[in-house]
Amino acid sequence: MNVQKGLKGVIAAETSICEVDGSNGRLIYRGYEIRDIATNYSFEEVAYLIWFGELPSDVQLEKFKISFASHRNLTPTMEKVLHTLPEEMDLMSVVRTVISSAGDSSMKWKPTVEDAIKLTAVLPTIIAYRKRILEGKEVIPPIEYFGHVENYLYMLKGKAASTQHIRALETYMILTMEHGMNASTFSARVTASTESDLVSAVTSAIGTMKGPLHGGAPSEVIVLLNELSEVNDKEFYLREKILAREKLMGFGHRIYKTHDPRSLALKNTLTELVGKDVWLDLALEVERVAIKVLEELKPGRGLYTNVEFYAAAIMKAINMDAALFTPTFTASRMVGWTAHVLEQAEDNVIYRPLSRYVGK
C-alpha cells in the first residue's frame, strides 16, 4: 500500500459545497463561478448560499440579515474570558480560546445552521474588542443595521469606513470564505466525525489556521509594496530581485497552475476603485510590471498573482495591522468550516486513516 504523506491527492470526502479546479484556475461555490459571486453579491448572500445551497430571495435575505446581526454580541462568558486573557497572547490564540468558550450545552450533535450563524456573526466582535482593549480604547458595540463587513470595520476603527474600503474587504472575505478540503477544513471535519460539537470542530480549525503554512498573513507582500512605493523604476527593481533568485511574494500558488480565480475576482473589484486609493493603484501597477518581467525571465512557469497579493493591498489601504490579517481570514473562513461540519454530519463516518510502522 502506497503512503501519501500529508494525504496529498487522496479523496477523503464528497462535497457539494465547493470545487477547487487548480488546473483550469476555477473556484466554484455551490455551482456558481467565484467571479460572478464576488462581484454581484454581499457577504451575507454568499454565506446563505454556502449554508443553504441556494441564493436567498429578497424576503429570505432580510430575515437572514436580522438573524445574523442579532448574534454579534458576546455572551457574558465570552466577555469574561476575553478580559482575563494575558496581553502577550497572540490574537489567533485569543480567537481560539474565546470561541471555545461558546461551547455550552446548546451546542450539541447534530450541528445546525443557527449554530453556524452564531459563531460566524460573533467572531468579528471578538477580534475588534481584543484589538481595542490592547490599544487602551473603549470597545465599540456592533451596529445591527450595518452589513457584516461594514460593522467589522466600524468596530475596529470606531468610525464608518468608506464605501471603497468596505467593498474591497467584503470582496476579499467572500473570496476566502471557502476553499475545499484545505488543512483547517479537514481538521474541522475530522473533529466533527467523532460527533463532537460545532464549537470543538471550529476550534480545531482555528488552531490549524494559526500555523504559518496555512493561514500565514500576507505581511511579506506588504513589505514588497512598501519597497516599491519608494521606487521610480519598478521594472528594473523587480528584475533585479528575480535575477538575484529572491522569491516574489504574492505570485504563484500551490494549487492553481494558472491564474488564481480569487485574485482575478479581487482585481476586478479593485479596478473599479482606480484613483480612489493609492495603495490599490500601486498594487495594480506592480502586478502589471511583475507579470511582464516574470514572463520574460521565467517563461512557462505561470507565475501570476495569488489572492494574498491583493489582500495585502487591501489591508494596507484600510490601515489594518498585520496582527489582524490571519484573524480576518479566519472570520471569513468560519462560513466554510461550519458548512463542511454540517455536511459531515449528514453522512458521517469517523476518519480513521492508517499509518505504516517503520520502527524497531
**Packing angle between helix 278-297 and helix 307-317, nearest 10 degrees?**
150
DSSP state of 305: B
Q: Which of 44, 170, 178, 308 is catalytic?
A: 308
Residue 308: active-site member: yes
- Consecutive H or E run containing 137: none
- Tell me the C-alpha distance between 261 and 37, whole Å: 12
Cell 449554508 appears where? Answer: 51
Catalytic residue among 148, 165, 253, 340: 253
CA 63/CA 56 separation, integer angstroms: 10
Q: Are 110 and 347 in contact (CB under 8 A)?
A: no
The amino acid at residue 327 is: P
Read out DSSP for 226-244? HHHTT-S-HHHHHHHHHHT
Decide if 87 is catalytic: no
Question: Which residues, in sequence order, are CB contacts of 340 under 8 Å at separation 6+?
Answer: 15, 17, 185, 188, 189, 192
Please report where in the chains the cell 456592533 appears, as a residue: 142
Cite the active site residues.
253, 308
